[in-house]
Structure 1
C-alpha cells in the first residue's frame, strides 16, 4: 500500500490556506503533516478550515516543522500561500530541508525566481511556482498565446479582492509573458496619447501589452484578455467564484512536484 504524501501548508490560517488544508486532508493519497502561520497559533487547522478537529495545531515554527517533515519516509511537499515578503525565504528553506515546494504566492521578482531556480537545480529538488492554479485560467493563457499571433492589439484586465498585496497580479504578468516574444510590438498608438491621470492607460508589460488592475471587496480573482482588430474584438474571460477552483491544480502540483529535479514556473508545464 502506497503511503500518503506528507504535506505542510504554510499560510494555513489564510483564506486560501484553509482551502488547501481541507483539500489535502480529504485527498486519499495525502496527509496534512503540518500547518504553519503567524496567527491562530495552537488552534486546530481543521477547526479553522471548518472541518472539525483533525489534531493538526497551527504553529509559527516553520523551521522545526520542515525539519520534522524531512525525516518522514515519504518525500514531503510544502504548499505556500503566504505573502511576497516571506515566500522567497520559505522556498529556500523548504528546498534546504529536501522538501518540494508548491507555491501559489505571487509577487516574486524575476531575479528571485531565477535565483530559486539555480538553488533548486543545485539541490536537484523539484519546485512548482504557479501564478494561478485554476485549470480554466491555465487553458485561457494557452489560448491567449495562440490568438496573439493573429492580433496586433491586446489588453489585459485583472480584478481581485482588495486584500491582494501585489498589482498587477502574477497571473496577468504570466499571461502577458506567454503572449510576448512573437517579434512584434502590440498596441502601437495611432495618435499621440496623453494621460490626464498617471497610468490611466494601465501599466505596460512586455512588447507593449497593457495591464489594468482593479481591487474591490466582493471580488475573488477574475481576468479578461481583450483582443482588437479591424471591425472585431475577441474577449477571453475567466471568473473564480470560489477558492475551491484552485484545488484540482494544487493537488495535481503536489503529486507532480515530487517527480521533478528542478524549478518550473507555471502549472501548464506539468499538465
Structure 2
C-alpha cells in the first residue's frame, strides 16, 4: 500500500511522513478537508483504501463523503454523482429533474442515489421554499429539502439533471441514457 493523502485537524500543511516519524518526507501535506483529499486521490489513483482513525461518531459522515454507490453501473452516472457532491457544498438550492418514457419506479434509482449522496452533508436546501404541500414543487426526499421532479412521456430519452442555484447563478449537470 502507498499513502496517498492525510487528513487531520492538527498539523495542517505539515508533511505526513515527517509527522509519522519517517526518515524521508512523503511530500503529502496534511489537510483538513476530506472531500478535497478524496477528489485529489480519485484524480491520481485507479483504486484506493481509506483508513479512518477519527472518532467513531464522525466515521459515518466521512464514509458518506468518500463512498459512491452507482446502482446503474453507468460511468456517466458516477461522474454526475461526484460532481453533484462537490457542488452541493457551494449552493443552497437544488432540484433534481428527471424524464422517463414509462412511469415505473419513480423517482428513479439515479435520482434517489443522487439525493442520498447530497443529503446529510450538513446542508439544508431550498430553505426559502420548504413547503411540501404543493405537489407541483416535486417530491422531497429526506429531511434536507432535496426535491425530485419526474416527467413521464412516451418517447422521451431517460435523463436526469441536477439544478443548483445561488445568488446570481445556476449550475446544471445532466445525463441522458439511451436504452
The verdict on a shared fold, with TM-score over 0.5 as the criterion, is yes
**Deviation >4 Å, runs of 4+:** 192-195
Say whether 1:186 aligns with 2:92. no
Question: Does the 8 Å CA contact 2:89/2:123 hold for their aligned counterparts?
Answer: no
Say whether 1:172 aligns with 2:108. no
Matched residue, 2:83? 143
Matches within 5 A, 1:12-161: 130-161=70-101
3-state SS of paired residue (2:136):
coil
1: CA distance, partners of 2:176 / 2:170:
19
Matched residue, 2:43? none
* Between structures 1 and 2, the one with greater helix share: 1
1: CA distance, partners of 2:79 / 2:96:
16
3-state SS of paired residue (1:236):
strand
3-state SS of paired residue (2:149):
strand
Question: Does the 8 Å CA contact 2:70/2:78 hold for their aligned counterparts?
Answer: no
- Against the structure 1 CA distance between its residues 194 and 139, is the aligned structure 2 distance closer, same or farther, given a 3 Å change threshold? closer
**What is the alpha-carbon root mean square deviation over aligned residues?**
2.0
Matched residue, 1:123? none
3-state SS of paired residue (1:200):
helix
TM-score (norm 2): 0.56
2: CA distance, partners of 1:159 / 1:174:
16
The aligned length equals: 110
1: CA distance, partners of 2:138 / 2:97:
9
3-state SS of paired residue (1:218):
coil
- Against the structure 1 CA distance between its residues 131 and 159, is the aligned structure 2 distance closer, same or farther, given a 3 Å change threshold? farther
1:17-65 CA-to-partner distances (Å, cap 9, x unmatched) read xxxxxxxxxxxxxxxxxxxxxxxxxxxxxxxxxxxxxxxxxxxxxxxxx
Say whether 1:204 aligns with 2:143. no
2: CA distance, partners of 1:180 / 1:135:
21
1: CA distance, partners of 2:107 / 2:70:
15
1: CA distance, partners of 2:115 / 2:132:
23
Question: Does the 8 Å CA contact 2:141/2:148 hold for their aligned counterparts?
Answer: yes
- Against the structure 1 CA distance between its residues 216 and 148, is the aligned structure 2 distance closer, same or farther, given a 3 Å change threshold? same
TM-score (norm 1): 0.38
